[in-house]
Amino acid sequence: MMTRTIFSGFGGQGVLSMGFTLANAAMLEGKYVTYLPSYGVEVRGGTANCTVVVSDEEIASPVASEPEFVVAMNQPSFNRFQNILSSGGLICVNASLVNTDSVRMDIELLSIPTSELAEKLGTIKVGNMIILGAFIKASGIISFDAMIKNLAELLGEGKSKLIKLNKEALEMGFDYVKE
């Protein structure tokens, strides 16, 4: 089984760290994984994206021309990446910023009111972790429990103070998505 996900949004929304956290968590589960950041002529405030491939066997290419999953944190990313999503794929959207009226009919849409949820935690900075929690519930790519267990390792030493907040954010997103 192989899944390809593109995380996308504005630079500064934590898009690359979302992908890196997922890739790292998948690695700790013993899966094959590649993480490829976009390194084009991106500028601060411009768009950023990364591709994460998680698989039970060797990964031939870290590029996803037709991903199964897309996480779109802003409107330009939604417009661009919903078009390359494979039919029947899932797009997980930051509903606080994205108008999804134009969504394709053959894909599944998951709207998360990220900003509204983040306000309950007192900071918009963990919006990416809320949407990552929701995405993991909806996609089932990795085990959520294992990820929470490994959170200290995933966030690294520099962020040890922020473990509790990130855990709450991930759980909030995870619980927001119904079975």
Q: Does 94 bind another protein (CB under 8 A)?
A: no
Q: Does 23 bind another protein (CB under 8 A)?
A: yes
**Least gap, CB of 23 to another protein (angstroms):** 6
Q: Binding residue for another protein (CB under 8 A) from 12, 46, 60, 152?
A: 60
Q: Does 65 bind another protein (CB under 8 A)?
A: yes
CA distance 9 to 81: 10
Kind and range of the H or E element at 10?
Answer: strand 2-10
DSSP state of 43: -
Instruction: Kindly tell me which of 32 and 144 has the beta carbon lying closer to another protein.
Output: 32
Number of residues that bind another protein (CB under 8 A): 20
Q: How far is CA 65 from CA 27, 36, 74, 103, in A?
A: 22, 13, 20, 19
Stretch that binds another protein, among 27-35, 85-93, 130-138, 167-175 (CB under 8 A): 27-35
Q: Does 102 bind another protein (CB under 8 A)?
A: no
**Least gap, CB of 26 to another protein (angstroms):** 9
- The 3-state DSSP class for residue 94 equals strand
CA distance 41 to 36: 15
Q: Does 146 bind another protein (CB under 8 A)?
A: no
Instruction: Kindly tell me which of 23 and 134 has the beta carbon lying closer to another protein.
Output: 23
Beta carbons within 8 Å of 93's beta carbon, 6+ residues apart: 71, 72, 78, 100, 109, 110, 111, 112
Q: Does 11 bind another protein (CB under 8 A)?
A: no
